[in-house]
Structure 1
Amino acid sequence: MKKLLLYILLQFFFCNCSQRKNIIIIISANTEWVSAKNILQIKADTLQYSPYGEFFSVDNFFSLSKQNVIFFHGGWGKIDSAASTQWVISNLNPKYIINIGTAGGFIPVQMKTQFC
């Protein structure tokens, strides 16, 4: 029992203390994604790919010393946005997630059967 408890404590320590935490900025719209890549002067050879879209990493963004900022092109629409966000959570070790844009857009009258 003591060995099991020690193992669990060590796993918790190594999982939470040794990994570098990331700040993830999810951009859904294609136009906003292209603009972000152009403004940050991201070259095609630095892009990485997920099942949901491209992403790239920027070190020392916002002058943060220990945190990496990853820009992620997620899907648009509720289902793709939720799926890509879950992929980010499962694979990129986020400390914070910032989602830029809107899902579903804006309409003058909210449909009574639709919940966001």
Structure 2
Amino acid sequence: MNRADAVVIISAQAEWEVVRDVYTTLEIKKTPFGEFGETTMEGLKVVLMHGGWGKIAAAASAQYALDRWRPRLLINLGTCGGIAGQVQKGEILLVEQTVVYDICERMGDPQEALDFYTTCLDLSWIGDALPVPVRRVRLLSADHDLDPGEVPTLRERFQAVAVDWESGAIAWVAARNHCPCLILRGVSDLVDETRGEAYAALSVFQHGAETVMRTLLSALPAWLSLGLKAQMSKPL
């Protein structure tokens, strides 16, 4: 398979393990970043790829995928931590904008640095008839789990509802390559101003991740059909 219609990037190891459980017939191969498998869904050539956690691996693996398979559509499925009171556990979020909030510029204009890595995703091709109920959001990314002490600031400054580690990097790389990008994240656990429910109980995240990923993967063929109908009409 030289060119894929879509590449689906899965970032965290816990998320990728669910992919392996669901797609048991995948012939697993390797990239510099992790495993991948090629399959067909809805008559489309699809690559499922483990991209790795954090912004560095996310950016590098996204560029690798775009260079190697030249997809018409780049998809990122995964989990996120939700801010208690702003979102519900298990809720599926359709990302319209990403903000990398852990940039700390002290020598110049901090807003200019923040704006540079903020990405608005063009979802005009999706339309209104979506395969599953979702909530359209701005998603924040950083290379750390959400600090409960940051919750009031993020809620006030960005109207934040959820955060993750990778979406900001993947969206930014896709935009620089002019590749349509679809990011769907499910809320695996909640954080409030005093604690994160998964921070002292990893099993909370693991259970939430499995639930979220199975939900996202069950709807993946429908999202692919929707996305590629729009993208296949465009010239190579």
Q: Work out whether the TM-score is over 0.5.
A: yes
The answer to whether 1:40 aligns with 2:23 is yes
What's 2:47 paired with?
A: 70
Give 1:41 deviation, angstroms: 1.2
The normalised TM-score by structure 1 is: 0.65
Deviation string 1:15-74 (CA, Å, 9 cap, x unpaired) is xxxx7442111000111101111111145xx11111111100111x1x2x2x21110000
Percent identity between matched residues is: 31
Unaligned runs of at least 5 residues, structure 1: 1-18
- Residue correspondences, number: 88
What's 1:98 paired with?
A: 75
The normalised TM-score by structure 2 is: 0.34
* 2:36 partner letter: F
* 2:71 partner letter: P
Q: Larger % of helix: which?
A: 1
What's 1:13 paired with?
A: none
Q: Larger % of strand: which?
A: 2
Q: Which runs of 4+ in 1 moved over 4 A?
A: none
* 1:34 partner letter: E
Q: Matched residue of 1:94: which SS?
A: coil
* 1:52 partner letter: F
What's 1:57 paired with?
A: 38
The answer to whether 1:79 aligns with 2:56 is yes
* 1:25 partner letter: V
